[in-house]
């Protein structure tokens, strides 16, 4: 079987070593390696970061096939997926601010905070009034109802085998944000299908998200690829490398004289 996979960075900064490791993990497995820029967040993504990611991947020799999929150029496509879900009555308007949500959340510190469902229970008259008043809103998935409609779903995780999807672990996720007419979860399932991705190879920080992606794939009639979540590259302190670790950006390493071979060797021995 030919493995078609993708690296899908968000151009919110220069490529750091951790991200490059993820790209390499995809590249080494894939027969066809695709690139996608997940740049729907206009407040954080910048064209210069997109250009710099492309330059760094080429420098490392991680060449992709075909056109780069640039999400910000395809908002109408995501809107049509969204409306399929809306027509099935699976979305609701959510007017909560971040502060409202954190006030309502009673989860213990450290636990992943789920949306407490405040607006799911809003009386329809109040909802209509808020919309008419022009209050900004997000669209959330009614995950419980959606999951009940979809029935029991499974996905194959390499190294673990078949896993039963538990979408409710992520609660009522946002599928269209107040400031952006779509969201990561919606775009990712849409584009993976569009790019004929057979295997999703990505960092383990996105493992949980798979549970909701599998549900969305089912609701939208899209195939579920095979999943493989790799461990994240850590720094000498044992902590995960992040964009804020400026020293770990590829362009800075390159400027300091590090070669692409040295970096690839480090990945091989990681
Ligand atoms: N855009 C996501 C990120 O940069 C990756 C999405 C994915 O691989 O599913 O973390």
What is residue 112's predicted lDDT score, i.e. its pLDDT? 58
Question: Which residues form the pocket of ligand 1, taking CB atoms under 6 Å from any ligand atom?
Answer: 8-10, 38, 188, 202, 206
In a domain, 178, yes or no: no
- Residue among 7, 8, 203, 227 to mutate when testing ligand 1 (max atoms within 8 A of CB): 8
Nearest 5°: CA angle at 64, between 58 and 68? 100
Q: Would residue 3 count as lying in a domain?
A: yes
pLDDT in tens, 204-232: 999 999 999 999 999 999 999 999 999 99
pLDDT tens, position by position, 17-67:
999 999 999 999 999 999 999 999 999 999 999 999 999 999 999 999 999
pTM of the predicted protein model: 0.94
**Range(s) of the domain holding residue 34:** 1-67+234-270
Q: Is the pLDDT of residue 166 over 90?
A: yes
* Bridge pairing between strands 174-176 and 138-141: antiparallel
User: How far apart are alpha carbons 19 and 172 in whole angstroms?
Assistant: 28
Which of 6, 7, 10 is the best mutation target for the ligand 1 pocket, counting ligand atoms within 8 Å of the beta carbon and taking the most?
10
Q: Which atom of ligand 1 is nearest to the CA of 205?
A: 10
What whole-number distance in Å separates Cα of residue 71 and Cα of residue 73?
Answer: 5
Taking only the tens place, the pLDDT of each residue in 81-102 is 999 999 999 999 999 998 888 7
Q: How many domains does the chain have?
A: 1
Q: Tokens 């080429």 appear where?
A: 58
Cα 159 to Cα 22, 205, 211, 228, 230, distances in angstroms: 17, 16, 17, 8, 10
**Does residue 118 form part of some domain?**
no
Burial of 258 (0-12, 13-18, 19+ CB in 10 A): middle
Structure tokens at 197: 């991705």
Note whether residue 198 is domain-resident.
no
- Does the pLDDT at position 106 exceed 60? no
CA gap 246, 13 in Å, rounded: 10
Position 266 in a domain: yes
Spatial distance between the Cα atoms of 48 and 78, rounded to a whole number of angstroms: 24
In terms of phi and psi (left: phi > 0; alpha: psi -120 to 50; beta: otherwise), the region of 91 is: beta
Q: Is residue 34 part of a domain?
A: yes
**pLDDT of 125 strictly over 70:** yes
Phi first, then psi, for residue 32 (nearest 5°) are -125, 120
On whether residue 101 sits in a domain, the answer given is no
| Closest-lying ligand 1 atom to the alpha carbon of residue 192 | 9
Give the residue from 52, 90, 27, 42 showing the smallest Cα distance to 254: 52
Strands 138-141 and 91-94: antiparallel
| Residue 241 pLDDT level (bands cut at 50, 70, 90) | confident
pLDDT greater at residue 133 or residue 243:
133
Q: Is residue 30 part of a domain?
A: yes
- Which residue lies with its CA nearest to atom 10 of ligand 1? 9
**b/e burial code for range 51-65 (CB count within 10 A of at least 16 → b):** ebbbebbebbebebe
Between CA 233 and CA 98 the distance in angstroms is 31
- Nearest ligand 1 atom to the CA of 7 is 8
| H or E element, residue 36 | strand 32-37
For residue 238, what is the domain's CATH number? Answer: 3.40.50.620
């Amino acid at each position: 079987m030919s493995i078609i996979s993708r690296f899908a960075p968000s151009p919110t900064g220069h490529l750091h070593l951790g991200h490059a490791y993820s790209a390499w993990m995809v590249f080494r497995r894939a027969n066809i390696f695709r690139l996608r820029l997940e740049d729907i967040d206009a407040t954080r993504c910048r064209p210069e970061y997109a250009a710099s990611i492309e330059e760094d991947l080429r420098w490392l020799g991680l060449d992709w096939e075909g056109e780069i999929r640039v999400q910000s150029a395809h908002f109408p496509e995501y809107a049509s997926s969204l409306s399929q879900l809306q027509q099935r009555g699976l979305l609701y308007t959510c007017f909560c601010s971040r502060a409202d949500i954190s006030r309502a959340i009673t989860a213990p510190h450290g636990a992943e905070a789920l949306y407490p469902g405040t607006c799911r229970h809003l009386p329809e008259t109040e909802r209509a009034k808020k919309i008419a008043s022009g209050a900004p809103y997000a669209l959330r998935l009614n995950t419980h109802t959606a999951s009940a409609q979809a029935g029991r779903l499974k996905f194959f995780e390499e190294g673990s085998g078949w896993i039963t999807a538990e979408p409710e672990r992520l609660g009522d996720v946002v599928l269209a944000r107040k400031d952006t007419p779509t969201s990561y979860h919606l775009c990712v399932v849409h584009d993976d299908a569009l790019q004929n991705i057979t295997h999703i190879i990505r960092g383990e920080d996105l493992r949980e998200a798979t549970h909701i992606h599998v549900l969305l794939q089912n609701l939208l009639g899209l195939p579920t690829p095979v999943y493989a979540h790799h461990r994240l590259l850590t720094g000498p302190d044992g902590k995960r490398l992040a964009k804020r670790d400026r020293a770990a950006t590829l362009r800075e390493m390159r400027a300091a004289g590090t070669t692409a071979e040295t970096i690839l060797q480090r990945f091989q021995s990681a």
